[in-house]
């Protein structure tokens, strides 16, 4: 009887057995890793249908999920590449998500961003509809680079105005909420972008639940500074990975 092979954690991606199926994708074609991560968004409960979008930096531009396609139907050639400084039209067979502008502007202005994720997740939207960011009710808020997660001003989806508002809310942060819309995060790679989005949605839910019970006691600036310094000691921005 054939012996089952145990997973071979890849030193190339350093992601352990859970990401073993992604290893070859990661090495061969970033579009396939993008598709696999986009499908994980639904499995992780942060997205439904075609409402979110995801991108990964590649060369002097980025690959991004196309407009109006279910992630389950995507093939590598469905993923358009967009150049930095482009006008939003791709030379590939599909056109990019209508939200390509804030993906583009994050890559253009935040060199540390290697992957960008936008989702319409329930608890993030609930807070964003109050146009409320998150105060330091939990130390994990520091994961995103500061002592709050801001909510960007409202603007119509797909507009430059929305991208400008998002970039402002992201100053010094790797995540923000978009008023009456959803969440936006970036990371050093696709996996971290997804992890950060899942963590942000969890924090939104926890904050919402705490607010049902009373008024959460917030951490002080000193307490948050200590956490931010401790997170910095991991040698990378994200202590989850
Ligand atoms: Zn959206």
pLDDT tens column, 114-129: 999 999 999 999 999 9
Distance 222 CA to ligand 1 centre (A): 35
Residue 27: what pLDDT?
Answer: 53
Residue 227: what pLDDT?
Answer: 95
Distance 16 CA to ligand 1 centre (A): 31
Neighbours of 189 (CB within 10 A): 19
Residues 6+ apart with CB under 8 A from 140: 199, 203
Distance 228 CA to ligand 1 centre (A): 29
* Catalytic residue status for 99: yes
150 near 159, Cβ under 8 Å? no
Distance 120 CA to ligand 1 centre (A): 6
Distance 220 CA to ligand 1 centre (A): 33
Residues 6+ apart with CB under 8 A from 84: 60, 61, 62, 104, 107, 108
Distance 182 CA to ligand 1 centre (A): 6
Residues 25, 74: Cα–Cα separation, whole Å: 14
Neighbours of 84 (CB within 10 A): 13
Return the half-sphere exposure (C-beta side, CA atoms, 13 A cut-off) of residue 236.
10
Residue 58: what pLDDT?
Answer: 96
Residues 54, 48: Cα–Cα separation, whole Å: 13
Choosing from 17, 20, 89, 99, the catalytic residue is 99
Residues 193, 197: Cα–Cα separation, whole Å: 6
What is the model's pTM? 0.86
Residue 232: what pLDDT?
Answer: 83
94 near 65, Cβ under 8 Å? no
Residues 6+ apart with CB under 8 A from 135: 141, 147, 148, 216, 218
List the strands of the sheet with 81-83, edge to edge.
Answer: 81-83, 61-64, 53-58, 115-119, 182-187, 175-178, 151-152
71 near 35, Cβ under 8 Å? yes
Residue 89: what pLDDT?
Answer: 87
CA angle 199, 154, 48 (to 5 degrees): 45
Residues 66, 213: Cα–Cα separation, whole Å: 41
Residue 233: what pLDDT?
Answer: 58
pLDDT tens for the 241 residues of the chain, in order: 444 444 333 334 333 334 444 444 455 789 999 999 999 998 888 987 778 999 999 999 999 999 988 888 899 999 999 999 998 888 888 999 999 999 999 999 999 999 999 999 999 999 999 998 999 999 999 999 999 999 999 999 999 999 999 999 999 999 999 999 999 999 999 999 999 999 999 999 999 999 999 999 999 999 999 999 998 855 445 555 4
Distance 20 CA to ligand 1 centre (A): 30
DSSP state of 224: H
């Amino acid at each position: 009887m054939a012996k089952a092979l145990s997973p071979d954690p890849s030193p190339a991606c350093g992601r352990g057995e859970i990401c073993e199926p992604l290893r070859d994708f990661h090495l061969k074609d970033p579009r396939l890793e993008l598709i696999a991560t986009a499908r994980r968004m639904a499995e992780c409960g942060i997205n439904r249908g075609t409402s979110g979008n995801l991108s990964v930096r590649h060369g002097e531009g980025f690959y991004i999920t196309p407009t109006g396609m279910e992630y389950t139907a995507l093939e590598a050639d469905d993923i358009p590449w967009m150049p930095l400084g482009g006008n939003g039209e791709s030379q590939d067979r599909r056109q990019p998500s209508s939200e390509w502008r804030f993906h583009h502007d994050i890559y253009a202005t935040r060199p540390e961003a290697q992957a960008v994720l936008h989702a319409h997740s329930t608890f993030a939207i609930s807070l964003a509809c109050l146009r409320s960011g998150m105060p330091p009710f939990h130390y994990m808020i520091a994961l995103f680079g500061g002592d709050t997660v801001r909510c960007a001003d409202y603007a119509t989806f797909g507009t430059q105005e929305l991208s400008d508002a998002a970039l402002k809310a992201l100053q010094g942060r790797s995540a923000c909420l978009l008023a009456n819309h959803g969440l936006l995060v970036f990371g050093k790679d696709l996996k971290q972008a997804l992890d950060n989005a899942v963590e942000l949605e969890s924090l939104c839910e926890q904050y919402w639940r705490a607010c049902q019970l009373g008024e959460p006691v917030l951490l002080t600036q000193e307490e948050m500074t200590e956490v931010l310094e401790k997170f910095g000691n991991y040698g990378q921005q994200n202590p989850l990975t």
